[in-house]
Structure 1
């Protein structure tokens, strides 16, 4: 079985730039406040989710890998 990941968005830091959605649209969406939120961790492969986190201009996305 592969490693699972947990993905968190720091709502206090998020500026709603949507770069995470560009890279992983099946995982992220904007909430009613225009902040990124995780909707489906299994929506994209982990490489796409990592790209999304790396693209965040203010590093509001954290990925935790479960061993």
Structure 2
């Protein structure tokens, strides 16, 4: 069973370089302001999602286990 994730993007930080979209293209997209948004939190394997969060140059992405609340990646874990 796939892990149920809660993925958020901090729009006050996001600079729209699209690294997350390159790492996990089925999860992330760019909106009209060229900022990342989550289009499908289950679109790619958790490994690719965590890679996308880790590659964000401004640590704007937070990934949590939606069932347990465990933070898998955030700027505090970076």
TM-score range, shorter chain: over 0.9
Quote the Cα distance in structure 2 between the aligned partners of 1:10 and 1:20: 13
- Secondary structure (helix, strand or coil) at the match of 1:47 reads helix
Task: After TM superposition, give the deviation of residue 2 of structure 1 in Å.
Answer: 4.7
Cα-Cα RMSD: 1.1
Unaligned runs of 5+ in 2: 69-78
Quote the Cα distance in structure 2 between the aligned partners of 1:47 and 1:31: 23
Task: After TM superposition, give the deviation of residue 3 of structure 1 in Å.
Answer: 3.4
Unaligned runs of 5+ in 1: none
Count of residue correspondences: 67
1:33 paired residue number: 33
**TM-score, normalised relative to structure 2:** 0.81
Greater RCO, 1 or 2 (C-alpha within 8 Å, sep 6+): 1
2:72 paired residue number: none
